[in-house]
Structure 1
Amino acid sequence: MGARELGLPERVGPVTGMPRQVTIWEVGPRDGLQNEATTVPVEVKLEFLDRLAAAGLTTLEATSFVHPKWVPQLADAEELLERLRRVAGVRYPVLVPNERGLDRALAAGVRHIAVFGSATQSFAERNLNRGFDEQFAMFEPVVSRARSEGVDVRGYLSMCFGDPWEGVVDPAQVVRAGRNLLDLGCTQLSLGDTIGVATPAGVERLVTAFTSAGIDVAGLAVHFHDTYGQALANTCAALRLGVSTVDSSAGGLGGCPYAESATGNLATEDLVWMLDGLGIDHGVDLDALVATSTWLAGRLGRPSPSRVVRALGG
């Protein structure tokens, strides 16, 4: 039975104080699959991307050019991009860690990239082998070269709410890191709750800290993990503050290979169900998306953690 048959209300316009439209930044093909213990064939990844585009998602983070030693699951990045059937109107950004990764991305014809920074010293050291300030020096030639080539650059910022080695993260420190990425030339900043410890009050504090520092909320996105079941509540808090780009992963796949306590990302299906109930446009066919995640769960050999997939997928 589909979502509409189960009584999901017709859209009557967005709830007061919410955006009329939300862009869903689908990270499943990259962030969702990078932690899989067994190799996912490139044919499955390509069909996954095709199905996601057919379901109406317009931003699909396709893969990563991180060295295969660190993320072996995405070692097929070049092959995937060479064989990818690009759909008109769909963006296929890739994660780029450094200048070598940028070289590979440009050679593959990529037009949208993302760099992955840290709001804390400890995670920068573990994830990037750089200090807090040193990471921005590493990103500078990547961002400047990409922009000079006409490539759009997103900046991910991890550990924005809590860090397993440093504890609660000061919003002022997150704003400092975020401003550095924006000053380098990133056109959007995704605020990551990498270990899933954020609550709505913390989201309000952080987004307000950015806007109070003169940073336009239109340039902010949010990226929540559901470790403590707060991802949807946190998303609602961000929407009420004007954020209109939300990262999510089909089927709730994903985690972080450098933060063992991180569980799955916010499930795209759960996000879409909530947005439908709020009357917010997003352009995604929920039934097609559920069918996609049900199909992928079969290929991965385990059920999807998404509540909506479990409810609708049979």
Structure 2
Amino acid sequence: MSESTPQVAIEPAVPRPVGGWESLLWTGAYSLSQLVAVCMTLGVIALLALGPKSLSTESLLQLFLDLEIDRSFLVFGVSTLGAALMLIPLVTWRLGRNWRSQLRMELPNRRQTLLVLGSVVPLAILSDELYRVCLAWLGPGSSDTNQVVQSLSFQVSYPILVVAVALGPAVGEELVFRGLIGQGLVQRWGRSGGIAATAVLFALAHLSPAHAIATLPLGIFLHWVYLQTRSLWAAILLHFLNNLLVITLAHFRLGGLPASPVLITTAFGCLTAIGWRMGSESNSSELTSRPLAGPFWRAWQHVYEGWSMLAYTAAFVWSAGVR
């Protein structure tokens, strides 16, 4: 009698992590997918409005002039949603069968969610101030997509804004830049190099100089949140809430966030305290070496967190009151 050969389960092959050149290609693919989505939408509009027999350069030009496409929210809304819909299957195909585990699709726990919620406003204050500084440095002629969207936002239905401007970019950009590119570059170049390179690529995807520079702190902190929570949903939530805050202020004409040197300084302190707390609670041994884990550092961390939160809250109330 021949002995039966034991069956060995074959694990699916883990695809190689994304490298530098491929990261550039994915960044370009994100911008290209936005352009493709807009072109496809405009093509459908032209076919429905003119019919296939009436298509010509002159008729198309006149149609788009009548629709005021250059000043329409349609282009931006379609580009962000279309890019997300096109990139989701591409990213999952690139990561293979185990894409859920590789993207880290676990939900954040309650404490992590509260930390994410607490970081939204201070992060927005820092990015907003950096954006204003860049606009002032670049000059009055440096308007960009961000300004156009804000100027049009009060004309668009709020639910449409939430889906097109807040949710669409949050899902699409986090999937590509944190889930795919960021994870691969961290594996290849280490935590600091991977976060820095991903933040730069994330900024480049926003094209206009002022908007790109203003997204650098956002990109860095989003990546930190992703690594420490080990949850892509946590990064998506933070990105979504950041976008939601911007469009809510613009749509309801509530004015910008308060700003003062004291508030900006304390917002940075608050954000570092939140980031420190996320890192100290992370169970990721391969990403957090915990050099500051002794009793002295734990006590100092509690003091720093308490005073930074108190100072930030006081500065925010004072800055909002004197606006």
The reply to whether TM is greater than 0.5 is no
Which protein is bigger by CA-based radius of gyration? 2
* Higher-helix-fraction structure: 2
Q: What is the TM-score normalised by the length of structure 1? A: 0.21
TM-score (norm 2): 0.21
